[in-house]
Amino acid sequence: MGFCGGTILSEYFILSAAHCMNQTRSFYVIVGEFDRDAKEGTESVHNVDEVFTHRYYVPETYHNDIALIKLRTPIRFTPFIVPACLPLREFAEDVLMRQEEGMVSGFGRVREGGRQATLLQRLSVPYVDRAVCIESSQFKITQRMFCAGYDMESKDACQGDSGGPHVTQFGETWFVTGVVSWGEGCAREGKYGVYTQVSKYVGWIRYVMTKFL
């Protein structure tokens, strides 16, 4: 049973959420999965070598809710297993996050309180204006978070999607722009999904991936 998602950044590194790292002592990573109930032959399983949780992560507020997982063995890329591109900070903030929407994916619950998805789900989610985002929640939306999703439609990330990718397409390329972090329920009216803004951590990500390779 999976408990969180992640984004492949390279053959050795997976991007995820810090709050996912507190949920279990030992875990492994499966890539290339589409149907959890079937053995499709596209999957590969990897043991974890080391976990890097952001040193300033605050569990109570989800501030700096970001982590990197280093795998013990490298991922072999295939048509079913590909990394997302890590954008430059300026490009992410000036171009990618000014697109209309990004995409989120995962095996999380199909509805609030419902069962976990068997098939990998994906959903286009519009970027939400920062002022609207802040107004929608009594909880603090920091400068390192952003909102995406729908005001009235019942579509959202949900429990089990945490740590998974928010990616934005530019041309033919998908760039990682967010990490699924938190929300108030799932797809509630007037509420949005809250994501860790990857552009604020590009320096940290590159540092960890270079120093600990």
Report all structural domains of the chain as residue ranges with CATH numbers, in order of start. Answer: 7-82+201-211 (2.40.10.10), 89-199 (2.40.10.10)
**Would you state the pLDDT for residue 26?**
84
**Model pTM score:** 0.96
**Would you state the pLDDT for residue 23?**
61
Burial-class residue 129 by CB neighbours within 10 Å (0-12, 13-18, 19+).
exposed
pLDDT along the chain (213 residues), means of 10: 89 98 83 93 96 97 98 97 98 98 95 93 97 97 98 91 98 98 95 98 98 91
**Token digits of residue 83:** 């990394």
Please give the helix or strand (H or E) that residue 135 lies within, else none. helix 130-135
Question: Token pair 């920091």 is at which residue?
Answer: 142
**Would you state the pLDDT for residue 2?**
67
**Would you state the pLDDT for residue 24?**
61
* CA gap 112, 186 in Å, rounded: 5
* CA gap 152, 158 in Å, rounded: 16
> Which of 40, 41, 14, 17 minimizes the C-alpha distance to 28?
14
List residues with catalytic annotation.
19, 65, 162
**Would you state the pLDDT for residue 1?**
54
DSSP state of 68: E
Give the pairing type, strands 121-126 and 145-148: unpaired
E strands present in 18-155: 28-31, 44-53, 67-71, 101-106, 121-126, 145-148
Please give the helix or strand (H or E) that residue 179 lies within, else none. strand 173-182
> Which of 117, 90, 116, 87 minimizes the C-alpha distance to 102?
87
Contact between 68 and 207 under an 8 Å Cβ cutoff? The reply is: no
* CA gap 105, 172 in Å, rounded: 18
